[in-house]
Amino acid sequence: MNTNRKNTALALTAMALISLSFESLYAAVYWNGSGSSDWANASNWTGGLPSTSGAGDAIINPGSPNAKPVISTAVAATAGQTYVSIGAGLQMTAGGSLTTVSLVTGQWGNSNVVDVSGGNLTISSNLLLGNGGYDGKINISGGTVTANYLSINTGGGAKMNIGGSGAFIAPVSNLGNINYWITNKAIIAGNGATGWSIVVDTTTLSGKVILTAFNPNNVFTAANNNNYAESGNWNNGLVPNSAQSAFVNQSLTAELSSIPSPNQPGSLYVGQGAGSESGTLEVFSAGVLSPGNLLIGRDGSSSGTINQSGGTVTVTGGTFGISSNSNGTGSYNLSGGILATTSAPLLLGYGTGLTTGTGNFTMSGGTLNLGAYFSAAFASGTKANVSFSGGNATIAGSLTVGRQGMGLVEISGTSCVKPPHGASR
């Protein structure tokens, strides 16, 4: 252990405790929760609102029938410190904001969680977690918590967890202690689950350190509904970004009818896994998605399907695969909208692993613009079925059917297929 760092942290904590003692000169106000869970409702406090002029510390005790206050709108700043007492908690949601002098947990006994899922919690002085040696965690899954100084007394189990789009900001002078707490798992990401890590950013804001959470894998859960563009439907609490791989599995269907923010996952897998995963993506009018790589039915006996009736899907990277390394089935059904690649070929049935799968591409409408070639049944042992019955397809390279496997292509109806560099069988 770094003794100097520990002594510095203890000294600063002692200074913080001294500053806390001055607030006790004023009459404290107490949460009773008798009227509602609304922080700003005066009937929920004994002694007046924490923002009342001349008020002392705000003491959050377990209220009845509303155990903890919820901040979902902008509320007035507190006059003193805020203490989360034994068995009590505090919740802030999207749209909420609060400024308090200091926020203290675990002072007299184990506190419940301070849960920030959105909004802005600003602590002008000290965030003291587990200050009395008891438990007192903070969970930041969304929104921003800003403090001038952070102290974590881990003796009772206090810690900080960051996930989703949550962020913690403090002066860069806290960096030494922050790195120590990250190393010793007092500051964790994603509740410590595999794949999560804390990102330490000292460049975005001058003189500040910003902590966020990152997981390279983002899995669609449909926790709220089937909307791809809703952050709450992804296990990371974020819509997949360019640094992440996105997965639609577990027989779930993701639906896209808008432009998600962000709309560029590093790679998008629909039906991927060593076992027999499956997933479906529906792309409707106004849906826009630009994955770096797009793989449908990947690995094991997994199967995946994309049905596009409108919108625009553009593969910006180097891989667009339907049934790859798989004994399962991958299908893309294009009936409207635009499907394009910047430079990637479209490969049906390819890979070096399990390659007895089937890749299907059906086009009954819309527009296909491939920036490279189209190869069906690319790998030995695979099968591919290709059908063009409507719409317009432009292929920058060759159209190859049955390169090493067994392929079938059918062109009928009003479909116009243009492979400028020829076709082969």
What is the reported pLDDT for 417? 78
Residue 386 CA to residue 347 CA, distance in Å, equals: 11
Least confident residue range of 61-75, 240-254, 404-418: 404-418
Return the higher-pLDDT residue of 350 and 371.
Answer: 371
Question: 309-337: per-residue pLDDT in tens?
Answer: 999 999 999 999 999 888 889 999 999 99
What does the pLDDT read at residue 176? 97
Which residues does 52 contact at the CB level (< 8 Å), separation at least 6?
29, 79
DSSP-based three-state secondary structure for 21 = helix
Q: What per-residue confidence (pLDDT) applies to 9?
A: 45
Q: Where are the domains of the chain?
A: 3-214, 217-242+250-424
Confidence of residue 279 (pLDDT cuts 50, 70, 90): very high
The yes-or-no verdict on residue 30 having pLDDT over 80 is: yes
Indicate if the pLDDT at residue 77 is higher than 90.
yes
Confidence of residue 5 (pLDDT cuts 50, 70, 90): very low
> Residue 358: is its pLDDT beyond 70?
yes
Does position 1 have pLDDT exceeding 90, yes or no? Answer: no
Q: Lowest mean pLDDT: which of 4-18, 46-60, 341-355?
A: 4-18
Quick check: 255 and 279 in contact, CB under 8 A? no
Q: What is the pLDDT of residues 93-108, one digit of tens each?
A: 999 999 999 999 999 9
Q: Hey, CA dihedral for 333, 335, 337, 339, is it positive or negative?
A: positive
Count, residues in the chain: 425
- Decide if pLDDT at 414 tops 80: no
Position with higher pLDDT, 3 vs 371: 371
The pLDDT-based confidence of 287 (bands split at 50, 70, 90) is very high
| pLDDT reading at 408 higher than 80 | yes
Name which of 373, 379, 368, 366 is nearest 406 in CA terms.
379
pLDDT exceeds cutoff 90 at 229 = yes
Cα 365 from Cα 334, distance rounded (Å): 6
| pLDDT above 90 for 274 | no
pLDDT at 253 over 50: yes
Torsion of Cα atoms, 205 then 207 then 211 then 214, to 10° = 50
The C-alpha atoms of residue 135 and residue 145 are separated, in whole angstroms, by 19
Q: Residue 289's pLDDT band (boundaries 50, 70, 90)? A: very high
Contact 363, 391 (CB under 8 A): yes
Question: Taking 50 as the threshold, does the pLDDT of residue 262 lie above it?
Answer: yes
> With 80 as the cut, is the pLDDT of residue 24 above it?
no
**3-class DSSP state of 16:** helix
Task: Please give the DSSP secondary-structure letter assigned to residue 220.
Answer: B
Distance CA(295)–CA(292), nearest Å, equals 10
Task: Enter the pTM of the model.
Answer: 0.79
